[in-house]
Every structure is written in structure tokens, then in C-alpha cells.
Amino acid sequence: MNKSTLALLGAGAGVAASAAAAAAALARRHAEKQPVADGWKSVTVLATPDDIAPGGVVGPPFDRLAEVVETRLLPAPGDRGTELHARVLPGGRAEAVVREQLGGDPADTLRRALRELKTRVETGEVLQQLPRPEGRRKHTVAGALVDGAERRAFGAGAL
């Protein structure tokens, strides 16, 4: 084979690899947006069940959600804390109550509640990213992109 044929084959392989990587990323993104069939969300908390639910009652912020959210506590694998599983009770009324009382998507509300409980139990306080402890910064295009990503991440749980 001559050099130009090898170069074309190399370029074709590069394009194929890029297309495969893009397809895999798109499939992952699509899979992440598919809801779990029964709506359960989970978090592992480095604590005992008694720390999470003293007296069998899960603490804040689940005290606001007690009527519309079901919770389960299970030992985490490898004796690494406790898994807290939660879901909005099936049925339109529970979701409507969450939307009405707390605003927003019930799945995002549940994610925020799980994250808040985890940080409260593990650190003793709810960690906040806003307002920024370092104060105000200059408005830039890159900063606007980061701000938008932070707003979206708060409900989804990842930046």
C-alpha cells in the first residue's frame, strides 16, 4: 500500500472511532434520562439507620414530604453505611402535592431532599453552593455557562 492509501485508511478509522464515541455518549445521555420504572431514588449515607431516622422517622427535609414520600433504609454493601431509598408515592395526588407545596418536578425535589439529608447527617449542616462565599465576580461568557450548569445540576445532582 502506498502512503496516500494508508492515510485515507487512518482518517477513516479516526472518523469511525469518533462516531462510535459520540454514539456511546448520546446513548448514555439518553439512558440517564430514562426514569426508573418504579421511581425510587437512592443515596448511600455514611451513618447508621438510627442517625438517619431516629425513632424510625426520617429527619429533615423528609418531614415536609412524609405524606407523599415512601422511604426504605437498608444496610449499604460492604458495611459502608446505610442506603436510603425514597420515592414519591404512586398516584397523581402525591405528585400534585409535591408540585403544589414545593414547586418543581417531583423527581428533582426528591433528589434535592436526598442530597440535603445526606449532607446534614454526614457533616451536620446542609452544604450550599449559593450564595458564593467568595462574593461577586465579573460577568463573563464562561461564567454565564458555569452559572447555567450549576442551576441545572442542583436538581439533577451532577455538574
- Asked, for residue 146, whether it belongs to a domain, the answer is yes
Q: Among 26-30, 65-69, 76-80, which stretch is predicted with the lowest mean pLDDT?
A: 26-30
Same-domain pairing of 133 and 117: no
The highest-confidence range among 15-19, 72-76, 99-103, 110-114, by mean pLDDT, is 72-76
0.85 surpassed by pTM: no
Average pLDDT (58-85) is 89
Mean pLDDT of the chain: 75
Q: What is the pLDDT of residue 35?
A: 45
Q: What is the pLDDT of residue 75?
A: 94
Going by pLDDT thresholds of 50, 70 and 90, the confidence category of residue 146 is confident
Q: Which residues contact 150 (CB under 8 A, 6 or more apart)?
A: 129, 130, 159
Give the residue with greater pLDDT, 61 vs 159: 61
Domain that holds residue 52: 41-125
- Asked, for residue 9, whether it belongs to a domain, the answer is no
Same-domain pairing of 133 and 121: no
Domain count, the chain: 2
DSSP states of 39-74: --EEEEESS-HHHHSGGG---TTHHHHTTTEEEEEE
Same-domain pairing of 81 and 101: yes
- Asked, for residue 116, whether it belongs to a domain, the answer is yes
Give the residue with greater pLDDT, 109 vs 130: 109
